[in-house]
Amino acid sequence: TPVPDYLQELLENIMTDSAGQVADYIPALAAAPPDQCAIAVSTVHGNTYSVGDDSVEFSIQSVSKPFVYAAALEGLGFEAVDQKLGVEPSGEAFDELSLEAETHRPKNAMINAGAIVAHNLFTIASNDHSERADAVTAFLSRLAGRDLHVDDEVFQSEMETAHRNLAIAHMLRTYGVITEEPHDVVRGYTAQCSVSVTVRDLAMMAATLADRGRQPITGEQVVAPHVARRTLSVMAAAGMYDGAGSWLTAVGIPAKSGVSGGLIGSLPGQVGAAVFAPRLDEQGNSARGIRAFSRLSADMGMHLFDPE
């Protein structure tokens, strides 16, 4: 079957499943149409295929986390980042304050606590949250291969209910894990989560990680190969939060989800794929996204622990 026909059939299949609810703790996300749905696949050779609502823009949310982690590693080096941030799965929810006992480092960069640290590290030279937002947006744009922007409505809406992330940032500041003013860091981090993308942008960004840090369309080496490998490793261990083990078992590729319904997966050396479907399961991962990736993995033989 040609790829677009296959993807169309896959889209129709996952649309029959209406399990899960849109995120409701951010007012702008609670208002999102729950049944928008799109799938995109991007090869490391630069071919992108997509079906469904593939031009709808939505906020990137936690799908930004692996990329900003990669940006911090690329900019500061492994040693500086590793001092402040672990690489262990937390086995807990995305908004849990999971810190290591001795060092007070967040367990990993995929949960909010760790993502706030990665954001702080990458934007350490910025003077305030708007400079932080600009730095992150510019970096994400290089991965997508086009100019992205912050959705101000989502940003404002999320800041109104950001009490938990503010609490996390203040706790991190107490331990000296972040060094800047906590409220300003959370504003920058929230702007990062509010960057608008399409499912095609996400597939391209995932393909960049799959291709050792090289953007498939522009050809730019955005991060070094060892940075891409580290990022994929942490995604495999913790990208699906407390659902990471069952994901690795069923689908078997590094992945990252977000509360707006975005979900990416990277198959090293081959493809990046993305699904946009806002209904979330108990862990806050896209329910239709998981269904799509489970089938994709089975149909295409994508599981990393399946020898050819």
Which residues contribute to the annotated binding site for substrate? 62, 112, 158, 165, 189, 241, 259
Among 87, 133, 193, 209, binds ligand GLN (CB under 6 A): 193
Among 284, 287, 290, 293, binds ligand GLN (CB under 6 A): 284
Q: Residue 285 interacts with ligand GLN (CB under 6 A)?
A: no
Compute CA 16 distance to the chain's CA centroid, rounded to the nearest angstrom.
25
Say how far apart CA 124 and CA 103 lie, in whole Å: 20
Measured at the CA of 244, the angle between CA 16 and CA 268, to 5 degrees, comes to 90
Interaction with ligand GLN in 118-177: which residues (CB under 6 A)?
A: 158, 165
Build a one-symbol-per-residue string for 54-73: x at contacts with ligand GLN by CB under 6 A, - elsewhere: -------xx-----------
3-state secondary structure of 262: strand
CB-based burial of residue 176 (10 Å sphere; 0-12 exposed, 13-18 middle, 19+ buried)? exposed
Give the residue ranges of DSSP H helices in 52-181: 65-76, 78-82, 112-122, 129-144, 152-160, 163-174
Q: Known binding site: residues?
A: 62, 112, 158, 165, 189, 241, 259
3-state secondary structure of 189: helix
Q: Residue 259 interacts with ligand GLN (CB under 6 A)?
A: yes
**Closest approach of ligand GLN to the CB of residue 49, in Å:** 25
User: By C-beta, is 165 or 208 nearer to ligand GLN?
Assistant: 165
Q: How many CB atoms lie within 10 A of CB 303?
A: 16
Q: Residue 208 interacts with ligand GLN (CB under 6 A)?
A: no
User: By C-beta, is 216 or 258 nearer to ligand GLN?
Assistant: 258
User: By C-beta, is 191 or 207 nearer to ligand GLN?
Assistant: 191
Say how far apart CA 205 and CA 119 lie, in whole Å: 18
Residues near ligand GLN, by CB under 6 A = 61-62, 94-95, 112, 158, 165, 193, 258-259, 284
